Amino acid sequence: MPDAVVVGAGPTGLTLAVDLARRGVDVTVVEKADGLFPGSRGKGLQPRTLEVFHDLGVLDEVLAAGGPAPVGMVWSGGERQGEHDMFADETIEPTPAEPYAGRPCMLPQWRTQEILYARLRELGGEVLFGRAVSDLEQDADSVTVTFDEGPTVRARYLVAADGGRSTVRRLLGIGMTGEEVDPSPTLVADVRIDPAALDRDNWHIFPASPEGALALCPLHGTPDFQLMAQFKEGGTPDTSTEGIRKVIASRTHLSADDVTEVRWSSDFRPRAALADRFRDGRVFLAGDAAHVHSPAGGQGLNTSVQDAYNLGWKLGRVLRSGAPESLLDTYEEERRPLAAEMLGLSTRIHRGEQSRGRATQQLGLGYRESSLSQGAAGALRAGDRAPDGLVDGTRLFDLFRGPHFTLLAVGVELPVIEAEGVRTARISAYEAYGEGYFLVRPDGYIGWAGSALDLEPYLTRC
């Protein structure tokens, strides 16, 4: 019997599976499709997500395949009107404490999934494709999952990462509370365009059409552009190849023949919704199964990756380190309020009520109000993100990297401690921390902080 079943092989499910596999957890990933998702949909990776990918061992591949968000170029009547940088507020210079701050890294979702899947296979994991969940039952010790085809799977826990139309959420009877962000539908597609007709130096924006705005964003590491086209309320986008060629030709200076290939297409109506709860017994909701965002501000995929990162270490501690099962209660406690916050941010950006900026980078998010956050020292409180830095020749993110806690003594003596799953280190006083003792959780947040060391009561909880 596997320790955990993850339903869905999108960014959420694969991130969680990688995190569990590196902890020695026996995890089975099931996906109803016959392969990985083929489209670019969630293409913007925020700085905090890059920090997660550093820890999971995939950052080099992500950065090699992606690139910074391009500056927009506004067109009208077939003429360039000038640049418009929608990410100007996110052009924040990196610092030693925040090494990936700045513009989002653009990488098509299908490529992010390929990188995570390759990492999972390196760790000995696999995905069972063509497994659509049809039913599930749980008892005091396990969850049993039934599929349309193939044998049932029984595991100690199940995580639903099966998207906004989650079958698992429906089977559990968990509702979603939300609103329609915009009644107008949006067409999204991955297209190839004759290089002689359009350059790849900018994110090309065509706002003037009476039918609705259209944008073409070059996708790094591919010959593709992501098309996004808005339609009037009540409209029905034609997602066929000819329909996509027609909408590009009608709203831009390009001809239908300039669109040489349509590789993937879909349509949606922007909405925001939050699951009424993130846990039902031994079943957890993560990613779009738990919260559905407008694409504005690039928060959906990134918030989903953070869900997986939060839940992964907690499941690992319960399954492999004897932590009390009550630790799993803190998943919903910590993640649901932040998901609600990010939903509000996405909606305000979509409606033009707030600009992009530091908030979209997710570096300032934390868990100060969590029952798992205790104490303060120096410049930080428990629940804050643990800053990076190069101190005494040691890079802190490399010190934190892995499935362990890290007790960091900053500018104070480090006594000998013996605690399972805790690595210790001492560095000189560092402005981002100040001085004191800081217990960094496996997900890179300060769990406990103080000027005198008294960890045992805290560690008994996790």
Summarised one tens digit per residue, pLDDT across range 316-350 is 999 999 999 999 999 999 999 999 888 788 778 77
Tell me the two tokens of residue 245: 């060629």
Pull the structure tokens for residue 147.
């599929």
**Tokens at 23, concatenated:** 């902890």
Sheet with 4-7, side-by-side order of all strands: 127-129, 27-31, 4-7, 157-160, 283-285, 279-280
Pairing between β-strand 67-68 and β-strand 143-147 as defined by DSSP bridges: unpaired
Range with the poorest average pLDDT among 46-55, 136-145, 349-358: 349-358
Phi and psi based region of residue 425 (left: phi greater than 0; alpha: psi -120 to 50; beta: remaining): beta
Cα separation, 17 vs 309, in Å, equals 10
Assessment of whether the complete model's pTM goes beyond 0.85:
yes
Give the residue among 44, 81, 75, 105 at the shortest CA–CA distance from 197.
75
List pLDDT tens digits, range 205-259: 999 788 889 999 999 999 999 999 999 877 789 999 999 999 999 999 999 999 9
Cβ-based burial of 213 (10 A; exposed 0-12, middle 13-18, buried ≥19):
middle
pLDDT value at 445 more than 90: yes
pLDDT digits (tens, 9 = 90+) for 62-114: 999 999 989 999 999 999 999 988 777 666 789 999 999 988 999 999 999 99
Amino acid at position 16, single letter? L
Residue 294 tokens read as: 């407008």
| CA distances (Å), origin 35, targets 16, 110, 117, 168, 407 | 18, 11, 11, 20, 41
DSSP SS3 for 50: helix
Over residues 7-61, the pLDDT tens digits come to 999 999 999 999 999 999 999 999 999 999 999 999 999 999 999 999 999 999 9
Three-state DSSP class for residue 228: strand
Residue 169: the pLDDT is: 97
Share of the chain above pLDDT 90, in %: 81
Q: Note the Cα 442 to chain centre separation in Å.
A: 17
DSSP 242: H
